[in-house]
Amino acid sequence: MKLDRNFFSENIKTLFYALIIAVIIRSLFIQPFYIPSSSMEPTLLVGDRLFVTKYSYGYSKHSFPFSPPILNKRIMSKNPERGDVVVFKTPADNRTDYIKRLIGLPGDKVQFIDTNLYLNSSEILKSKILNKSQIYCGNRIIDVYKFEEKLPNKKKFHTVYLKNYTYQNSDIFTVPVNHYFFLGDNRDCSKDSRFLSSVGYVHKDNLVGKAQFIFFSSDKKLGRMIEFWKWHKSIRFNRTFSKIN
């Protein structure tokens, strides 16, 4: 069979155009992310794969692959809401993606007093759901209390605290202008804005997008994806296409 001499060039063009379209979709509309750590349990589990909308807060250089210096500020900017689950680039290196829950807005004062979270001197209400629960903290299984917390804007979500409440008191964190304060829902097993040297306050330009829903989830401890005979155990079918609260 004789091949058209343009066969290879046409296929290369097709691949190139497909790549451009994929980059545009990923940069401007929606991007998939994988959850590698337990810092957002019970909301997000290790092995969750989720979609993040890039347009939710406007665009900055971090909206694009490898953060090219094509924008010196955020454009079409929209303010995130307290309680949003947000992907952002860590201020430490402006490269690593983190996902946490937005707690403090610019000008807010955040503090932990006797294990309780305070926002602008008012305690964030939380009601205990479970006295006994176990979740992961890295490779360790830890005993926790599970709570439902309610923010001033009526946003409700679940958090967990170690039974011995390792993080009990803190200084007052005053969120600077154009910055945000984030916490992990797994409160005693999360590197977040409480740790100023590694995460700290996050500038608005570092926001990547808003986590919207989980499209697939699997537990690799119960089986790898190539082990199809274990899918009934490893794939979390109940989390498929579940909205992130």
Taking a C-beta distance cutoff of 8 angstroms, is the pair 107, 101 a contact?
no
Tokens of 146: 């599970």
Residue located via tokens 């953060």: 67
Residue 78: half-sphere exposure toward Cβ, Cα within 13 Å: 13
The identity of residue 90, as a single letter, is: T
Q: Report how far apart, in Å, the C-alpha atoms of 39 and of each of 92, 96, 167, 186 are.
A: 18, 15, 14, 5
Beta-bridge mates of residue 48: 217
CA–CA distances in Å: residue 176 to residues 87, 109, 204, 206: 19, 10, 11, 14
SS (H, E, C) 67-135: CCCCCCCCECCCCCCCCCEEEEECCCCCCCEEEEEEEECCCCEEEEECCEEEECCEECEEEEEEEEEEE
Tell me how far the alpha carbon of residue 87 is from its chain's centroid.
4
Catalytic residue flag (residue 39): yes
Examine the residue annotation and report whether 121 is marked as an active-site residue of this protein: no
Catalytic residue among 37, 39, 60, 63: 39
Q: Which of 54, 61, 89, 100 is catalytic?
A: 100
The catalytic residue positions are 39, 100
